[in-house]
Structure 1
Amino acid sequence: MASRAAVLLASAVAALTVPGYASYRRKRWLKSRRQRVIVFTRYPAPGTTKSRLIPALGEQGAALAQLHMTDAILHEAGRLQQRNPEDLSVEVRYHGGTQEDMRYWLERRTGISCWWRVQEGEDLGQKMANAFKDAFREGTENVVLVGSDIPAITADILEEALQTLNSSQEEDVCVLGPAIDGGYYLVGLNRQTDSRVIGRGMQLNAGSQHASGDYLLFLHADTQLPSSWQRDAYRTLCRPGVVVGAFPFGLDVVQDSSHSKRQFQSVGGFPEFPLLEDVEMLRRLKRHGHVGITEGSGVITSARRFRKHGYLKVTSLNTFILLAYQMGVHPDTLAVWYYGRKVPDKD
């Protein structure tokens, strides 16, 4: 009896370890490929996904919409993978659910060979940056990242983005898929670009270089402008002596018409800091003129961070970071204190 129990136990251990080892080897094999498509999604659990669709579809219907859209984009990624079976891997970065949930959903999926891991970071920007950094650290050369709720995306679109990155390996190139609402549905980087876009200052400078208008508005993704923002900003920037404007509660707008970009460029744009790039840029601009505060309604910024960590903790940390910066602590060190992780080298 004891002997039979030992055999059964050994069989159970083998059943657990052999598939686990095979999965580990498969994941390492996929990670080693030169090109990668990363799909950001939520695990489609009722009540936690597509909340804006719940009033129309119900919790179950909204979850099914999330499921079908993720499945659709994975189908297209799989089609592209079949064109480059030895060169392209597909990674799913998920939020919500567990590893077991994801394994049950995706492990036996046909038409695609993919793996999955949880999204890491405080907000979407950090999660995206971490996904890119992990891919490049694992040896990938070209990475395209897309969200799961883009029904119109195709294998051809993904392939075009990767080909653009592949043809520019010696340059720091960023590929963006422009959306109708002014945002973007796809972002791609190659290894050369990675070290140049980690900090917000570098990202803001890259955006300003591609701007075609006479005015520059820098706005956080979780902030909404008042309905009168154009009028208020223009009046503020037209005031003699003003070189930069700000709405109440922060976020900068830079000078008027033909003088605006020259003023921005004269101070070197945003410093390539991982943190406090806006504070340093404003400090430099103050040498050339005043900071004008718009009249009327201010911007409305999401209180998500305050609700999550508490008003006192967030305010105290922000104040401490600013004081430390004024005392000469380098922004790279402050970023480690603020984000709780090492900032990648810029070289």
Structure 2
Amino acid sequence: MWLYLSLLFPISVLSFYIYKEKRRKCITSIVVFSRYPQPGTTKTRLIPVLGKEGAAYSQLLMTNHIVQKLKELSIIHGNIDLDIWYNGGTKKDMLYWMKERRTSKARVSVQEQPKGGLGDKLQQAASKALSQGRQHVIIIGSDIPGINGDIIEAAIDKLKNGSDMVLGPAADGGYYLVGFSTQAQKHLDSVFKDIDWGTERVFKQQSDKARSLGINMDILPQTLHDVDLEEDIVVIEKELGIDRLQLTKWSWSVVIPTLNEEDTIEDTLDLIVQRCSDVTCLAEIVICDGGSKDNTETKVKEFSERTKVKVKFIKCRAGRGFQLKEGTRHATGDHLLFVHSDSVIPRNYDEEARKCLLKPGNIAGAYRLAFDAVETPIS
């Protein structure tokens, strides 16, 4: 026991110092201002057109998109920290949401935004990063889907090559990015003062303020759109590659692997249709058959002739994994539901599955499995 503890302690200390050394070598901090996508509190100006859940889903998708882009950038360069400053939710919620993006190669931390106006938050985010020894800090919002690694790298290059401050202009008169080098640290208490936040004057006022303080400022050439209003939804469609309808109405492909299931497949198919809250959300039912020797194919064909739901019968190599993979390859819906061929599926299963996937951090879900008990009569 004591030998184990004596070995464990120096290993733990070594790990701590290795972590600290990695942090020290990170010369750039990228701060993302985001909001936990809780329906009803997120992207409220989109609620009239997308509903509470659709508006929250748009926030979820945009944040996932930009954080993934920045994670890839962090892995490539190895000297970039990513800090998510959030509103709403809890730290536990945020850590769960970001768990898939926090790796040894991509350092992602979360911190609740402090109280105060936007200017106060920007000042604190920039000051904290530079006071921790970072040479540069870049601050962006999570609702600018057009931001990519090239834009972030361009901002960092400007700070490396003599600029004390950099701004990225937004189409609405604000800005989507602000960055500083250590040379601007002495001006951080003043640079965000007297700005009419939330107006079309923000970019001009911020530029004028920087120049009045003698800050050597540069401006990125790209003008980007943030997403706040109905007319901005086209930006999500373009940058994330999804259709507006997909924000509010999901389509499902139900994939069922089969092998000699003539006794149960029709009942399962009937329940899939009957217990769906909105049958129009079923893009198709994909049957992946591993070589049935009974009447499974006939039963599926009979079902397809009496339903309006599209049914595909795919013959493939036997083996559940192979069959599920083949079914996925033929699926066209936005989301996938995998169902056993003898399942008694719950009512409104599509709604429950959607709510599961709307939770930030969830990428899949499953029902608990129960078995019908078959008792042998006592003679």
TM-score (norm 1): 0.50
Q: Which has the higher helix share?
A: 1
TM-score (norm 2): 0.46
Larger Rg: 2
